[in-house]
């Protein structure tokens, strides 16, 4: 354990927790905007009730995402100062653009979305929901632009060991950026879709909030029926792009050691990096060449084409890729079962489908974490692919004790933050849409003896839990 390894593990810990929040809030913001538009258009109050419910959940999730997200750029200075110094002229501007576009947009309209339903015209509330959703997508755009440049760098020159941009358009639109952006954003949308489907299925199993849950099931199933197959297609295109620009990563994903034609698709194996071979392998002949090159006899480079010190950790990438694909197949299964039940007229009553949908809530999160692992571990040992090693980016003044101390603090802090956030979210989810509407109706109505005061940001969520506890007490009575 040295400062480099601990810094990498610390970054893994921080970003793995943080990525769970945008994986949920990006899609949830888009869903809330859709509900607001449908309520404005159709005048059906069920969409207003659903929007009020998910806004409460969004408020907590968004707050947790902001808190955990602050730590990540902070680490660039504390743990990765050499990388920050070398790449600041390129990535600094892109991260600044995220603040100037996404954060400002969200800051301007989030308050209206949370507290303005009774204070602004309906069109203004709908517009606020659309702008918050657009802000979350803009944030994804800039962050993935930074990551894509680190994966497939271009548009720069190296001057005195520093990357200096010569074309910001080339820096922004790198060869992997369109594929990484679409693949990641679709993954976020799908993750949110399965959370919505799972919550609705849970309510239907309990025979609670039936009208709202039917709408959620119908909307999420229709959306996932499009996005899950689309994600498979985009993932295939992203794989072809990786084969072209990061062939070592692709070889690790597939567990390919020798350069050959007609390469078999490895379904399962235990990669042995020391012996440079796969043990206990189960494979389908020539299939990898077909889906990677669209030619049954297509040639694919094996890991032996690169020196050992330039290969990624094969086992981590290999298994993470299979977890991601496995989650995708399970998602597709849920969608197929849903349509079978729909055509049988049992979509909202089938115990099999409702149980399957209820259990599907974590699938998207697991797939996102696995996909991120493939992307980031697969480009090792490079922090800027092919140009700067990860070991060259760590802060030179760090000691093992320094990082161990900060890492221990981050572990404790994140357990507290995410543990408390999870419990709060669980209470809001279990309260249900009708309780959220009751809390929203009571929001901002001070008593005659107490003057009006500005609402706290999290009051948009915590008042729902208070109302939920009161409603459950009344029901018990």
Give the pLDDT confidence score for residue 471 in this predicted structure. 47
* Best-predicted range by mean pLDDT (3-7, 366-370, 395-399): 366-370
Question: Can you tell me the distance from the alpha carbon of 449 to that of 309, in angstroms, rounded to the nearest whole number?
Answer: 72
User: Hey, how many other C-beta atoms are within 10 angstroms of the C-beta on 390?
Assistant: 17
Helix (H) or strand (E) holding 382: strand 382-384
Give the pLDDT confidence score for residue 246 in this predicted structure. 94
Give the pLDDT confidence score for residue 461 in this predicted structure. 55
Question: Can you tell me the distance from the alpha carbon of 296 to that of 367, in angstroms, rounded to the nearest whole number?
Answer: 28
Calculate mean pLDDT across residues 33-60.
92
pLDDT > 90? residue 72:
no
* Predicted structure pTM score: 0.90
Contact 303, 260 (CB under 8 A): no
Contact 138, 105 (CB under 8 A): yes
DSSP of 116-175: -TTTS-HHHHHHHHHHHHHHHHHHHHHHHHHHHHHHS--SEEEETTEEEES-HHHHHS-T
pLDDT in tens, 314-357: 999 999 999 999 999 999 999 999 999 999 999 999 999 999 99
pLDDT in tens, 88-118: 999 999 989 988 988 888 888 999 999 988 8
pLDDT > 60? residue 69:
yes
Give the pLDDT confidence score for residue 318 in this predicted structure. 95
pLDDT > 90? residue 443:
no
DSSP of 437-458: HHHHHHTT---TTS---PPPTT
DSSP of 170-208: HHHS-TTHHHHHHHHHHHHHHHHHHHHHHHHHHHHHHT-
């Amino acid at each position: 354990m040295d400062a480099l390894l601990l810094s990498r593990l610390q970054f893994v810990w921080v970003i793995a927790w943080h990525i769970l929040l945008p994986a949920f809030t990006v899609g949830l913001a888009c869903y809330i905007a859709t509900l607001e538009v449908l309520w404005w258009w159709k005048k059906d109050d069920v969409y207003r009730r659903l929007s009020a419910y998910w806004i409460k959940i969004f408020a907590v999730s968004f707050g947790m995402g902001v808190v955990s997200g602050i730590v990540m750029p902070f680490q660039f200075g504390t743990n990765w100062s050499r990388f920050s110094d070398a790449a600041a002229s390129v990535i600094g501007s892109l991260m600044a653009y995220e603040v100037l576009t996404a954060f400002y947009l969200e800051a301007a309209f989030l308050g209206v979305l949370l507290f303005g339903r009774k204070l602004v015209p309906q069109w203004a509330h709908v517009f606020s929901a659309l702008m918050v959703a657009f802000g979350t997508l803009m944030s994804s755009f800039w962050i993935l632009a930074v990551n894509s440049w680190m994966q497939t760098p271009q548009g720069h020159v190296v001057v005195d060991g520093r990357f200096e941009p010569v074309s910001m358009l080339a820096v922004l639109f790198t060869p992997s950026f369109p594929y990484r952006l679409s693949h990641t954003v679709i993954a976020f949308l799908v993750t949110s879709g399965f959370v919505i489907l799972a919550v609705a299925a849970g309510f239907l199993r309990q025979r609670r909030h039936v009208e709202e849950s039917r709408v959620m099931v119908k909307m999420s199933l229709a959306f996932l029926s499009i996005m899950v197959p689309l994600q498979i297609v985009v993932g295939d295109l992203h794989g072809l792009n990786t084969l072209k620009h990061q062939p070592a990563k692709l070889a690790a994903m597939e567990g390919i050691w020798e350069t050959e034609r007609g390469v078999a698709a490895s379904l399962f194996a235990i990669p042995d990096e020391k012996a440079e071979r796969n043990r206990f392998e189960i494979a389908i002949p020539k299939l990898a060449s077909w889906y990677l090159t669209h030619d049954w006899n297509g040639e694919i480079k094996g890991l032996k084409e690169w020196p050992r010190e330039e290969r990624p950790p094969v086992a981590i990438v290999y298994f993470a890729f299979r977890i991601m694909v496995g989650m995708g197949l399970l998602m597709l299964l849920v969608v197929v079962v849903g349509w079978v039940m729909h055509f049988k007229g049992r979509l909202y009553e089938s115990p099999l489908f409702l149980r399957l949908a209820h259990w599907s809530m974590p699938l998207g999160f697991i797939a996102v974490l696995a996909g991120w692992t493939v992307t980031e571990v697969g480009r090792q040992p490079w922090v800027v692919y092919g140009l700067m090693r990860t070991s060259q980016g760590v802060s030179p003044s760090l000691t093992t004790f320094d990082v161990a101390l900060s890492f221990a603090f981050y572990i404790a802090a994140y357990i507290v933050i995410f543990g408390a956030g999870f419990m709060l979210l669980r209470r809001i989810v279990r309260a249900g849409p009708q309780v959220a509407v009751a809390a929203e109706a009571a929001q901002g109505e001070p008593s005659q003896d107490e003057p009006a005061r500005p609402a706290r940001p999290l009051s948009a969520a915590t008042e729902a839990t208070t109302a939920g506890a009161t409603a459950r007490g009344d029901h018990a009575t």
